Amino acid sequence: MKADLFDQRRLLELQAVDTQLTQLGQRRKKLDADPVYATAVQRQRALADKAANLTGDLADLDRDIERVEREVELVTKRAESDRARMASGAATAKELEGLQSELESLARRQGTLEDDEIELMERREALETELNEVRRQVEESRQVLADAEADRGRQVGEIDAETADASSTREALVINIPDRLVELYERIHAKQPVAAAELVGRRCGSCRVEKSPGDMVPIKAAPIDEVLRCEECGSILIRTELPQSKPSSLASEHELKKYT
């Protein structure tokens, strides 16, 4: 393939932009997997789940306490009724004996219920203390997460802005490079990160392999408009030193003087 030297050199600019776009993509992926942000999200979720579970446990305890209180109220009312019956003098001796036995049973039952209520209230107090602490941690972790999200959003915005600028630069470059040369570059770039590299001395700027003196003979002898490929990595080799052969008419003497 033949292509003007200066069109070939534009591939280096295109490669630089593509390298920048690749790096921006890598930064974005790294940002998505940021351990600080991921840890903040996980902690926020874990604490929120714990707070929800404790809230549910607290609601269960409140129902248990309410049930015990209802039972205590029923026992108290029953005992008051029995005592009123005994005080009325209308009960027979056998009924009085039964009422007294029931009052003793009710007293034991009330004592058990009150003990249960005290235990439940103590558990509730401990649970409420734990819940308040978890809620404090939830608020704290929410702020940490908000700060992490703000920082991540700022970095994403910067990456997106740089990506947009680089993409615009790339479009402008591609327009000024012949289609056949762009197509060759794109085919190579689809397979590997570096599709065009400068030949610095005898070293390929892509694979960094230094050519032997024998390898350099045909490279130096090739016309200036010949599109060369690195035999090691397949990248397009962009020559910065003029070849020894007669230049193509595609590059004027005035333009070539800039590279001598």
Q: For 158-192, write each residue's pLDDT tens digit.
A: 999 999 999 999 999 999 999 999 999 999 999 99
Q: Is the pTM of this model over 0.95?
A: no
Q: For 76-128, write each residue's pLDDT tens digit.
A: 999 999 899 888 888 888 988 898 999 999 999 999 999 999 999 999 999 99
Taking residues 132-150, what's their average pLDDT? Answer: 92
Reported as a pLDDT band with limits 50, 70 and 90, residue 210 is very high
DSSP states of 5-67 as a string? HHHHHHHHHHHHHHHHHHHHHHHHHHHHT-HHHHHHHHHHHHHHHHHHHHHHHHHHHHHHHHH
Tell me how many degrees the CA angle 247-251-254 measures, rounded to the nearest 5. 105
Cα-based distances in Å from 215 to 14, 46, 202: 27, 63, 9
Tokens 């962009």 sit on residue: 238
